[in-house]
Chain A
Amino acid sequence: KNEVEQSPQNLTAQEGEFITINCSYSVGISALHWLQQHPGGGIVSLFMLSSGKKKHGRLIATINIQEKHSSLHITASHPRDSAVYICAVAHSGGGTDGLTFGKGTHLIIQP
């Protein structure tokens, strides 16, 4: 069974700061997902990665398959970025057998 570890568990930062959230996993995967969960519980998929790096707006996600590690970066952070960020891994077919989730990083951006 894959163990997915995220760090930090909680992060409070000031508006404008550069944010990094880390994710490591124990078993080889077919893809890694970064998800955002808002207080109401709804989840939005931010990125799906199988190699390299992806960028969307102020969000950047990287993955190192050999080291079994991924990072999510937020540049010029804003209070609206406050949410729980979850790393999840897929073992086959990009997630066709479901995902294994980390416990999430609770991010608060203060104005």
Chain B
Amino acid sequence: SAVISQKPSRDICQRGTSLTIQCQVDSQVTMMFWYRQQPGQSLTLIATANQGSEATYESGFVIDKFPISRPNLTFSTLTVSNMSPEDSSIYLCSVVTGLYEQYFGPGTRLTVT
């Protein structure tokens, strides 16, 4: 199993600023993902956080807007840059274990004003 914590749990930010979300896992995992859930919408994969190399972004998401770091096998950060109200979402970190089990963090609820 894997226990995931995220910081902050929620934040209210002003337009044009940036927020960095942290994801900490209690065990080493190879596969780590960042998802976004906009209000009333399904979760959408932003990127795969690769340890020691650049993240792999899905269509519609770019590194300049959502830079990701993965310095080791238990930690990753996602930054939401130059925020606009459209970035108001829940951001979730997720990992896949060696047994293909999915675990999700508690989420970061972001409101941009």
Q: Chain A: residues with CB nearer than 8 A to chain B? A: 4, 31, 33, 35, 40-45, 48, 86, 88, 90, 93-104
Contact = CB atoms under 8 A, between A and B. Distances in A.
B100 A86 contact: no
A41 B42 CA distance: 12
Contacts, number: 61
Contact of B107 (A4, A35, A40, A99): A40
B96 to A, nearest CB: 5
Interface residues of B, number: 24
B107 A101 contact: no
Given A48-B102, A96-B96, A102-B42, A43 B31 contact: no
A96 B109 CA distance: 25
Contact of B102 (A41, A99, A104): A99
Contacts of A40: 106-107
Given A94-B96, A97-B48, A99-B45, A45 B31 contact: no
Interface in B40-68: 41-45, 48, 58
Nearest to A30: B100
Q: Is the interface of B mostly helix, strand, loop or mixed?
A: strand
A33 B29 CA distance: 19
Nearest to A41: B107
Contacts of A48: 100-102
13 contacts: A35-B104, A41-B109, A42-B107, A45-B102, A45-B104, A48-B100, A48-B101, A48-B102, A88-B102, A94-B100, A101-B43, A102-B42, A103-B41
Given A4-B42, A98-B33, A101-B44, 18 more contacts: A31-B100, A33-B102, A40-B106, A41-B37, A41-B92, A42-B105, A43-B107, A45-B101, A48-B100, A48-B101, A48-B102, A88-B43, A93-B100, A94-B100, A96-B96, A98-B45, A99-B102, A100-B45
